[in-house]
Amino acid sequence: MQLTIESQTRSPKDTPRALRRSGKIPGTVYGHKGSESTAISLDAKDVFTLLRTAVINNTLVELNIADGDFKGNTLLREVQHHPYKNEVYHLSFFSIAAQTSVEVEIPLHFVGVPVGVKVGGGSVDVTMKAVRVSCPPNSVPETIEVDITNLNVGEGIHISDLVFPEGVVPITDTTPLVVTILKK
């Protein structure tokens, strides 16, 4: 999934509090032009629309700095919230325009009802909910599907048993169990 958001550069005079009062949210883009980062401001309505569909570290966001020199693909790396109010305080974007691969954590989606649960009376024990992978920036999968239909009691699936899309490579140890069927 790829989303688009517009922004403007932020001057040092623009305090975060003043920006938020005017309906803007401060942000930062880093990872482009070497190690420089660019302070930006985003429209609060656009940010809330983005946050309804974007997954941190997993969704490509095309960021356009209208009055700046950057337009390209980024990953939403961090969203800072107020400690007790439902307010977004700051967004951080990582530019992947010049990257050949990125490291991201992909959530696992378990499909099916295992035989060991239907017939054997077992229970599903999920030991990993996500796996860290390296992949090209334009092919970050939203989830990795794990079919658990054929698992009996005492059986499990390891990271090495997962089917990854082309170009996606796990960067964690491939021996840990992802899911197993336990006897009740």
Instruction: Yes or no: say if 69 and 77 are a contact pair by the CB < 8 Å rule.
Output: no
Instruction: Yes or no: say if 109 and 157 are a contact pair by the CB < 8 Å rule.
Output: no
For 61-82, the pLDDT digits (tens) are 889 988 877 788 888 899 999 8
> Is 2-95 assigned to CATH 3.30.559.30?
no
- Strands (DSSP E) along 96-138, which ranges? 102-111, 122-126, 130-135
**3-class secondary structure, 38:** strand
Its pTM surpasses 0.75: no
CA 72/CA 36 separation, integer angstroms: 15
Provide the residue-wise pLDDT of the chain in tens; the chain has 184 residues.
Answer: 678 899 998 888 888 888 988 999 999 998 765 557 889 999 999 999 999 988 888 888 889 988 877 788 888 899 999 899 888 999 999 888 666 788 888 999 999 999 999 998 899 999 999 999 998 877 888 889 999 999 999 999 999 999 999 989 999 888 899 999 998 8
Q: Which residues pair with 88 in a beta bridge?
A: 81
The CATH superfamily of 102-183 is Ribosomal protein L25, C-terminal domain (2.170.120.20)
The residues spanned by each domain of the chain are 2-95, 102-183
For 95-106, the pLDDT digits (tens) are 886 667 888 889
